[in-house]
Each structure stands twice: as structure tokens, then as C-alpha cells.
Structure 1
């Protein structure tokens, strides 16, 4: 269970196959600070997303993960750790393309509480592993009903 008074560390990574994010929190256990996991998420990329460049893919990962973990992050201070500088520039890009503009708007509510830090990829292997072994996109409820009940 997370402590809502302690800032989160939010690791994100995108790979050619998927998106991954790991939410952690630093806690004091036996007078030692340890970083413990709170939540892990991943998904495969969609066919249209496969055409994105590496920078766009990392920005997509941030936007998707913020949406999925909104319950944890809304109103909480957190640090986003990524291996891509483009994620930092997403907030300040003056001439964004249509995807970037939409993403800028969607993350505005987090700007006050979010600090984006670029670090080497070997710092956050947790999110890197999740992006490479992403879970398949879940089926829509209609397709499941059709397959199970309407044969």
C-alpha cells in the first residue's frame, strides 16, 4: 500500500514491441532507505503506433502510463525517470505535431507535481523489461461476448 505523503518514482520505457512503466516509492525500512514497487503496467503497441519514432514512442508511453496510473499520481509529487530526452522536451515543445499537442494537453494536470529526469537505460531495467515483454492488448468486451456466447 503506498504512502500518499511520500513522492513516487515513475519509470517509463518504450520498445519496438511495447510500453512499460513501473511505479515505485522510497520507504525507510530498518533505518535504511529502500525503493519498493507499487505497481507495474505494460501493453503491446498498436499497429498504428508501430510507425512512431523512438521519441514519439517514449512520449506515448508517458501519456499512456499517466492515464493508467492516474489514481496513484493525481495530486501526488512524482519523478518520471526515462532514458529519452524527448520526454522532457514534450512539455516545452513550441511547435508540436498533432500527436505531441494532444499529449501536451493531456499531461497538463500533472505538470505541477511532475519532475522529468533523463537517466541511462541501465538505471530502470524494470520498465525496460516490461516494455519488451508487454502484455497483449485486451480484447474488447464485444469480441469476447461474440466469441463465447453468439456462436
Structure 2
């Protein structure tokens, strides 16, 4: 629960709350962190179709985008908006 609260306070409060999150069927998305986060956000969870190339490509691109955002956020902390490019 602690990790979900940190994510909420530092990421979601800055970037906004998604209405739906599409995940692949990886078991890591059922970990306690994600379950708590989805409950806190009142966000629906949808799973992509297995072996669907278009969905997999979109998911991979979103993962790359989120990694970039998190990397910048961690580098600049709460000053992230001042460094958006």
C-alpha cells in the first residue's frame, strides 16, 4: 500500500488519473501494488489480446513513454514541469 500511495502522491497527482489502463497478461500486473493503485484510482483494468501485434506495439510505446516520464521526474523531482521539453 505504501508504494501505491507514493505513486499517487508523486505521479498521479501531477499527471492526472486514467479512466482505463490496458495491460498485457503479465502476472506482474496482479501484484499488490497495482491492485491497490487501481482501487485507489477507481480505474478500470483491461487486458490486451494475447499475440495481437498492434496492441503489443502500442503497449510497448506507452511503456517507453512512461519510463521517460518517470526518469525525468526522478531526475528533477517536483520541478519536472519546469523541464518538460
More helix by share: 2
TM-score of the pair, normalised by structure 2: 0.40
TM-score, normalised via structure 1 length: 0.27
Higher RCO structure, 1 or 2 (CA under 8 Å, sep 6+): 1
Higher strand proportion = 1
